[in-house]
Amino acid sequence: MDQKQFWETIRNHPRPIVIDFWAEWCMPCRAMEPALKQVEKEFEGRVDLLRIDADQAPEVLASLRIFGIPTLVAYCDGKEVLRQTGAQDNAGIRRLFEAALAGRALGPTPLSPVARTVRLVAGVGLIGVGLSLSSGWIWILLGLVVCFSAFYDRCPIWRAVTTRLKGRLTSEREVR
């Protein structure tokens, strides 16, 4: 598929579409395939899936600035809604299909319990290092930031501040 065909497909597609950029030799791509097929069946008739072999369409990948596979890109009404690079589980794939159906990104991807735990343990470790040093305030500060990164997506203050900032940035762009 060349660039012209790709953009014609995206612009003229009657439903939202998720594009899977993959390759036969890519093990994460192959590992993700069963979950991708399962979610595709769940959204059958509402969101379509188009699989593009990266080796057969390098110019399309270059134009979209896709540097790694697997990459999933959700489109609605010809516009990119969400992009995920790397192997995704069922929940991650479902999230892309939901974003395509809604026509917008649905907020940050929630962290898994394992990722939260790893961040929390790393942050506490950094705080411990800082407490053991005579001038370890930078380590303590870094540890607090890492700990916060484990829970930022659940913090109502963080959500309120970032929502307000995004609103201001969007309105400034519209004015220009």
Residues 97 and 143 in one domain: no
Q: Which of 45, 67, 102 is the last residue of a domain?
A: 102
Q: Quick one: pLDDT at residue 103?
A: 86
Instruction: For residues 51 and 7, give the distance between their C-alpha atoms in angstroms, rounded to a whole number.
Output: 14
Exposed, middle or buried by CB within 10 Å (0-12, 13-18, 19+), for 174?
Answer: exposed
Residues 18 and 56 in one domain: yes
Exposed, middle or buried by CB within 10 Å (0-12, 13-18, 19+), for 40?
Answer: middle
Q: Quick one: pLDDT at residue 175?
A: 44
> Which residues are tagged catalytic?
26, 29
Instruction: Return per-residue pLDDT of the chain as tens, 176 residues.
Output: 788 899 899 988 899 999 999 999 999 999 999 999 999 999 999 999 999 999 999 999 999 999 999 999 999 998 998 899 988 888 889 989 999 998 887 766 677 788 899 999 999 999 999 999 988 899 999 999 999 988 887 888 887 888 888 777 766 544 44
Q: Quick one: pLDDT at residue 91?
A: 86
Q: Quick one: pLDDT at residue 176?
A: 44
Q: Which of 80, 102, 124 is the last residue of a domain?
A: 102
Residues 80 and 127 in one domain: no
Residues 136 and 64 in one domain: no
Which residue range(s) make up the domain with 53?
3-102
Q: Which of 56, 46, 45, 91 is nearest to 72 (CA)?
A: 91
Domain count, the chain: 2
Q: Which of 61, 58, 81 is nearest to 71 (CA)?
A: 61
Interhelix angle 137-149/113-132, nearest 10 degrees: 170
Whether 72 and 83 have beta carbons less than 8 Å apart is answered as yes
Backbone dihedral angles phi then psi of residue 73, each to the nearest 5 degrees: -130, 125
